[in-house]
Amino acid sequence: MTADEPLLAPLAAEEWGDDEYAAFGALLGLPGEKVPRAGSGHDADPLKFDIIGLLARHPKMARRFLTFNGWLLQRGELPLRLRELAILRVAVTRRSEFFWGEHAKVALEGGVPEDDIDRIAGNNDRFSGVDRVILDVTDELLGNGRAEPESWQRLVDELDTHQAMELVFVVGTYAMLAMAFDTWRLAPPAGSAPLPEPSS
């Protein structure tokens, strides 16, 4: 096995069944029978999403996890910009090429300026206001496994309790996902933005 050969591959078209479609449906908010079929070429064809194809190898776990993750991404109260700044910082800190590639695209499509994305790998002094608070707290969560009381209070003061709670779960969720997909050596999609080196 080579150093970059995947340890676990996404499901092939013939491996998708009722349980796997139900798992993907949990993310899409659809019953399994309404999920586009693998290999259909539809915009939501499961074969277009390697992360889903990997998680669906354990469909019961995937169904429950994707219900939660889908809520965080699609129905949570934390604004997209702040959520994506945190996820991109997780990607840089955890050295996750996959999540940098995926979420640099999500952030850009969601209206985060490219210059702000480029600055994520640098010192937090390059940001101000609530952006700075988000990055400072994300760094504490990743480095210490918790936010200190004064940091939590800054977060609540800038956002509100619901959004502050969501940030903790976003950082924890994406740190866990980076660990999983980097273990399995999931390559970023072709054409993804390259993971930048951290800079001071």
pLDDT digits (tens, 9 = 90+) for 92-104: 999 999 999 999 9
> What's the farthest any 2 CA atoms get from each other in the chain?
52
Domain shared by 106 and 125, yes or no: yes
pLDDT at 80: 97
Domain shared by 93 and 152, yes or no: yes
Domain shared by 44 and 114, yes or no: no
- Domain presence at residue 197: no
- Domain presence at residue 155: yes
Domain with residue 174: its CATH number is: 1.20.1290.10
Structural domain harbouring 66: 13-74
Domain shared by 65 and 105, yes or no: no
Distance of CA 90 to the CA centre of its chain: 9
pTM assigned to the model: 0.92
Residue 56 · residue 24 · CB < 8 Å: yes
Cα–Cα distance between 91 and 95 in angstroms, integer?
6
Which is more confidently placed, 196 or 137?
A: 137
DSSP H or E segment with residue 155: helix 149-158
- Domain presence at residue 8: no
